[in-house]
Amino acid sequence: MARKRKNIDRFPQSSEPPRKKRVSTTPLPDGVHHYQEVDEVPCDLQKYWHQGYSIFSKYDAGIWMTDDAWYGVTHESVANKIALHMAEVAPPKRSIIIDAFCGVGGNTIAFALSGKWKRVYAIEKDAATLACAKHNAEIYGVADRITWFHGDCFEILGASGKTEKTVEALTAITGQFGVIFASPPWGGPGYRTADVFDLESMQPYSFSYIYDSFKKLTPNQVLYLPRTSDLRQIAARVERGKKTQIVHYCTNGTSRALCAYLGDWAPLKL
């Protein structure tokens, strides 16, 4: 059993698994879990579960997860650093942020905690995953700073050509005041075996599809991509005469992923 933590609110970088603590007897939505003992965790997820509080420091408060979310959730220290950087270098007059693939809320919560944005808009296609994000934002005390949308982000933002589910008000304010953060699916663990990862092989959305679709609304995007991404493919989307910034985000001395800062972001002072 993991030793007792003294203060989970200070975001310590711990590799301890969550303690065996029964948080609530309230039935969870279908597909949602709060694993408290390793014996409850599917075998293929146990290595992620053992990363413990580095994913959500408030896990013991009753964090909800889907099984798929364990593979893609941004670790809290990384999410906080990205949120800090985006707040520091945001383009002028950009006061709202759209988290286009919000998942269980890791990045969304960090953006809300940063205090930079007048409003955080979070979009998630899977209903169970969105239920987790809403619940987790409540645990972190930021639910009132976030507006949630259930559906395909490209359709909701009016970037897919399908207008039936487009939220026109969101499309309008994104174009005038917004930036987009996107942590899209990478298409499974195959990216880990590639020395240089082909961003056009991402599934179900390629890099160029994501970037070109969101550019219809705003050029100001931050895309969270595999650490081995082919930088030439990113550079090819940058306008002639402009530069972009690529930042690797690490834990325990190892890059977890990179962010491509595309658009009019100020230079980061790292």
Model confidence, pTM: 0.88
In this structure, the answer to whether residues 156 and 208 fall within a common structural domain is: yes
In a domain, 2, yes or no: no
Count of domains forming the chain: 2
Range(s) of the domain holding residue 59:
9-72
In a domain, 157, yes or no: yes
Tokens representing 213 are 């679709």
For the chain, the C-alpha Rg in angstroms (whole number) is: 18
In a domain, 51, yes or no: yes
In this structure, the answer to whether residues 52 and 171 fall within a common structural domain is: no
Per-residue pLDDT of the chain (270 residues; tens, 9 = 90+): 333 333 334 334 445 555 544 445 568 999 999 999 999 999 999 998 888 789 999 999 999 999 999 988 999 999 999 999 999 999 999 999 999 999 999 999 999 999 999 999 999 999 999 999 999 999 999 999 999 999 999 999 999 877 788 999 999 999 999 999 999 999 855 677 788 999 999 999 999 999 999 999 999 999 999 999 999 999 999 988 888 999 999 988 889 899 999 999 999 987
